Structure 1
Amino acid sequence: MKAIILAAGRGSRLGALTERRPKALVTFNGMPLIQRTIRTLRAAGITEIGIVAGYRSDTLTIYADRLFINPLWGTTGICHSLSMASEWLDSQACVVSYGDIFYAPELVSDLMQKNEDIVLAYDPHAVKLWQQRFEKPLDDMERFIIDNGRVCEIGHRAETLEQIHGQYMGLFKLTPEGWYALSRQRERLSIKQREQVDMTSLFSLLIEAGVPIGGVATHAPWGEIDCPSDVHLYEQIYPQL
């Protein structure tokens, strides 16, 4: 199976850390995030890795088996970046990973083995992690409700912790059928919405339309690096990684 890493963005909230490099090259415990991701994907059995680049795309060339470019990375959203790799998505199942996260190979293997056309990785214990990242976790976390392995709700502001069964991680699997359903849903949006829509919003629209979306939980270390304090936090929590 192939994998696609979405690494077009700069990550402006990381400030000086991304002044000369894309977000995916920020280091955690001395290793660039994208190098860590590639190592994880290879360990899970991924045979070919494509990277969707944009900001400072030249710095990512050495990491990719295939480099896709989003020339509009500064004005479009993550789903637009994903569409740059449609050649792969149209023809075979792919694991898709955001470029600013880290996770375990076992989770990728679990995603690969699931039969559903769209499967999301999530952390059922994310509230504890978010309590270390934010003074008020509800200010950042969204609703995520899952029942019997099926995602029932994703996105929208969570009003209580009970509405958070987990945290969508920015890691998922799509079959060609899943990509087709996602693309058709995106095409129903206005041109401006189509360019800016995020993955969570699209997944939510698919659920509302009755498209089944599976979920796979992780119990291994993982994290999302969105600001400089995240780097320091994860290096304290996971010094062994």
Structure 2
Amino acid sequence: MKVLIMAAGVGSRISRHLQGQPKCCVDVDGKPLIRHTFELLKKKGITDIEIVTGYQEKYIHQALEGFAYARYFNPFYRVANSISSVLFAKDFITPNDDIMIMNGDVFMEEKIIDIVLSEKRSPVMLSDSSRIEDADYRFNWESDKLKKYGKELTNEQTTGEYVGIGILKTKDIVPFKQGFLDAVANEDYNCWWEDIIYRTVDKGADVFVNNVAGIFWAEVDYIEDYERIKEFVKTNN
């Protein structure tokens, strides 16, 4: 398996707390979050890693000193959503191996990677059924299949919060790639990379959900998310 990490964004909802650094470079127990992620992937035998950078990328390269990785720079990080990042990474998105795509500001326990590596279905989006009232991007699924998605879902409609990680087996990589190339060709620059997968649900395709409830994770969107990470690390060290 190879891993594509999205780390180009500014993170406007938390940026005033970050002293000009990308979200993926917040300190977690004395090291940048992105370095923690790389160490975790390496521990699990994953070394084919590509990262899309943009905002203040120098901090990311400093954080990853000593690691081998491919890097693509997205100069449009302020004017387009993550569809532009997968466009710049298109040469990495090939069906030679399964791929995990993750947002760079996700902190996760080791068990999350174990789940990813053991997953046989595709495409799969990770979700957490224990997070409903405070959920940001919401999923509704039945029998592990995604039915509805979006921030506008009510608590009653929501069965879990999206974790920020997706899995594509080799059979789904070419359709995914064509999907984001078409989106760019249609000037759909507000599109997120996940939207390419979600839109297949509307056409009747199966998108599977793996529920990781009970395993700690957090995406650094708000300062409260970062505080949760620090408290978890403090408690579990």
Q: Note if contact 1:50-1:65 (Cα within 8 Å) is conserved in structure 2.
A: yes
Counterpart for residue 92 of structure 2: 88
Counterpart for residue 230 of structure 1: 225
Q: Note if contact 2:83-2:184 (Cα within 8 Å) is conserved in structure 1.
A: no
Counterpart for residue 178 of structure 2: 184
Structure 2 distance, partners of 1:39, 1:23, is 17
The superposition leaves residues 204-235 of structure 1 with CA deviations (integer Å, 9 ceiling, x where unpaired) of 21111122212222121111111223222332
Aligned sequence identity (%): 22
Two-structure CA RMSD over aligned residues (Å)? 2.4
Name the aligned partner's letter for residue 156 of structure 2: E
Residue number among 112, 122, 145 corresponding to 2:117 in the alignment: 112
Counterpart for residue 190 of structure 2: 196
Q: Which has the higher helix share?
A: 1
Structure 2 distance, partners of 1:118, 1:186, is 15
Structure 2 distance, partners of 1:216, 1:65, is 27
Counterpart for residue 166 of structure 1: 160
TM-score normalised per structure 2: 0.85
Counterpart for residue 134 of structure 1: none
Counterpart for residue 17 of structure 1: 17
Counterpart for residue 35 of structure 1: 35
Deviation of 1:85 (Å): 1.9
Q: Secondary structure at the match of 1:229?
A: helix
Structure 2 distance, partners of 1:193, 1:108, is 34
Deviation of 1:34 (Å): 0.6
- 46-55 or 79-88, which deviates more: 79-88
Flag the 1:188–1:84 CA change in 2: closer, same or farther, 3 A. Answer: closer
Q: Secondary structure at the match of 2:45?
A: coil
Count residues in correspondence.
230
Q: Which runs of 5+ in 2 are unaligned?
A: none
Deviation of 1:141 (Å): 4.7
The superposition leaves residues 42-83 of structure 1 with CA deviations (integer Å, 9 ceiling, x where unpaired) of 233312221110112222225251111112111111122123
Structure 2 distance, partners of 1:180, 1:208, is 19
Deviation of 1:84 (Å): 2.0
Name the aligned partner's letter for residue 107 of structure 2: F
